[in-house]
Amino acid sequence: MKVLVPVKRVVDYSVRVRVKADGSGIDLNGVKMSMNPFDEIALEEAIRLREKGQVDDVTALSIGPRTVQDTLRAALAMGADKAVHIELPADTPIDSLAVAKLLDAIVREDGYSLVLLGKQAIDTDLGGTGPMLAGLLRWPQASFASELTLIDTHLRVVTETDSGLRTLELPLPAVVSADLRLNTPRYASLPNIMKARSRPITVRTPAELGVDVTPRLRQRAVSPPPARAKTAIRVESAADLVRSLRAEGALK
Amino acid sequence: MSILVIADLSGSALNREATAKAINAVRGLDKVSVLVAGYQVAQPAAEVAALEGVARVLVADQAWLAPRLAEDMADIIATLAPGFTHVVAATSASSRSYLPRAAALCDRMVIGDVTRIVDRATFERPIYAGNALEVVESLETGIFLTIRPTSFSASLGVQPPAPIEPLAVEQGAVQTIWISDSVRSDDRPDLATAPIVVSGGRGVGSAEGFQLVVQLADRLGAAVGASRAAVDAGYAASDLQVGQTGKVVAPRLYIAVGISGAIQHVAGMKDSQTVVVINSDTDAPINQIADYVWSTDLFTALPDLIAAL
């Protein structure tokens, strides 16, 4: 059984991003890039399934310019068996629908039984790719998984909802998106990082896969959020705080 | 042509506020039809029909729709979508699962968590955990949107009921099996819509420490929230998490107790009107967005505060 884990290269979660002065986007100059943390969790889960002997092969896949190969090397160092790079020219915008179509084409070609991916990327915060891919494949889906068990030919998945938890059973093949609490991803060891440098990466293109990646959305402007132009008032006691909150109507 | 809004339901009950916000967000653009899909939904359908601005209610009422699985919701929406200019839902864990699927079935993109509607095809939404806002223009006909509830008003008048039309729907081929829901049941207000939220972070130190946060919330009639650190440490349930992962809240009053204010947490609460920080750390990043900072030992401060209310 083969598992596909799409991994996205994004601005590291610890970086406070800056908007470019001309409003044309985020300033990525010299900014630390990493694997999307939710994809890292998805990859960890796939590797654990392989370590339990329930999965034979874990393939990491990334879409973008040459630089996404860094992310694929990180995936190989963590324990992915194979890496696929769908190459786009530098600075090509791509939206979730096109990503889902590329993944759909790869899944149909290479015969995966499970796609495990992050619930959202922390740059666009959209979370469209998983459900879109499941729709294109007409496969069952589970979003925001916090627990996953593979039993023969089906998955038991506990997912996080707005009011608690929901347990679903999905026949394979299926698409599952990983939430924070699914696991804690491992760190790659130095020897594995070194070994990953010389591992092969299969390079494909959208044209080969017959997918039109023309964006359906145009980003017109990016701006910083309005600042909270307030200086905090220091309070010294409960009575002080309650008086202030009542005075401004925050407490009735 | 008109707009299709997907009603937000919990079981057979209408989430009136979220649904009203989705209707309000788009009713200036065109006539609004609302889809009420679920099981035993006559009551929510009637409630929706009486909401101002609703021209028509479409009802899919089937036992197999009781859990509102993403696969089934997406099939129904994808069948209806070609007759509408926009398909709109309030952002929730549920809509984030079914709406992109429905969009893909229609060969359409989805625009998530919209905070402002600029015009029929142009929308503002937060990116990078709310550290930037993007304005995107859709080049498609047939636009799929989720709207961020905290950015729109729920105030909607009543009207003489709009017509209610039953839909003939059949279950699709995808066989995901619903096993169970475990829903937190208490009498506290809903975190996403409560006017006051009291949240606890790692600083509360233990599940017992978190109970002080709960007691303060109960004294105020507030919802309880938590930072990721508090959830990961097992002090609070995952559905209480406020942040980029978790819920986005914008209450009248947000009280952060023992929370340092990671970017990811601030993303979920920075639109709150008044922010109070109670923390022993005088330099916590969350102080930068606070209106009131009380630097103190929270274990003595919270009982004092409860007594002072």
- B49, with CB counted inside 10 A (0-12, 13-18, 19+), is buried
User: Is A199 inside a domain boundary?
Assistant: yes
Q: Does residue A232 lie in a domain region?
A: no
**Which regions in chain A score pLDDT beneath 50?**
none
Rounded to 5°, the CA angle A118-B81-B36 comes to 85
Q: Which residue has the tokens 């040459």?
A: A66
How close B169 gets to chain A, by Cα (Å)? Answer: 18
Predicted pLDDT at A226: 84
Handedness of CA B283, B286, B292, B293 (dihedral sign): negative
Closest Cα in chain A to B103: A132
A19 DSSP 8-state letter:
B
CA distance A98 to B244: 24
Please answer yes or no on whether A128 and B109 come within 8 Å at the CB atom: yes
Structure-block tokens of residue B309: 């209310």
Give the number of domains in chain A: 1
CATH number assigned to the domain comprising residue A111: 3.40.50.620
CB B302 within 8 A of CB B278: yes
Return the DSSP state at A198: T
- pTM assigned to the model: 0.93
Instruction: In whole angstroms, give the CA distance from residue B108 to residue B284.
Output: 43
Across the interface, do A250 and B220 touch by the CB < 8 Å criterion? no
Report the pLDDT value the prediction gives residue B193, as an integer from 0 to 100. Answer: 86
CA distance B220 to B232: 26
Contact A68, A92 (CB under 8 A): no
Q: Which residues in chain B are closer than 8 Å to A244, comparing Cβ atoms? A: 292
Pairwise CB contact (< 8 Å): B239 & A162: yes
Task: Provide the pLDDT for residue B296.
Answer: 93
Decide if A64 is inside a domain: yes
Q: What is the ipTM of this complex?
A: 0.95
B253-257 β-sheet, strand order: A233-234, B292-295, B274-279, B253-257, B196-200, B223-226
Tell me if A245 is assigned to some domain: no
Q: What are the residue ranges in chain B where pLDDT is below 70?
A: none
Residue A67 lies in a domain: yes
Asked whether residue A244 is assigned to any structural domain, the reply reads: no
Mean pLDDT over the full length of chain A:
95
Determine the Cα angle at A204 with ends A134 and A102, to 5°.
Answer: 20
The chain B residue lying nearest A129, using CA atoms, is B100
To 10 degrees, what angle do helices A129-137 and B95-105 make? Answer: 50
Using the beta-carbon criterion (under 8 Å), do B307 and A238 form an inter-chain contact?
yes
Q: pLDDT value at position B183?
A: 84
Within-domain flag for A138: yes
Domain contains A24? yes
The closest CB to that of B100, out of A123, A128, A165, belongs to A128
SS3 state of residue B21: helix
- The model's pLDDT over B222-265, given as tens digits with 9 standing for 90+, comes to 999 999 999 999 999 988 999 988 899 999 999 999 999 998 89
Range of the domain at A113: 2-219
- A223: nearest CB among B78, B94, B133: B133
Interchain pair B93, A144: CB under 8 A? yes
CB neighbours of residue A84 within 10 Å: 19
* Per-residue exposure over B61-71, b if at least 16 CB sit within 10 Å of its own CB, e if not: bbeebebbbbb
Tell me the pLDDT tens digit for each residue of A136-192: 999 999 999 999 999 988 999 999 998 889 999 999 999 999 999 999 999 999 999
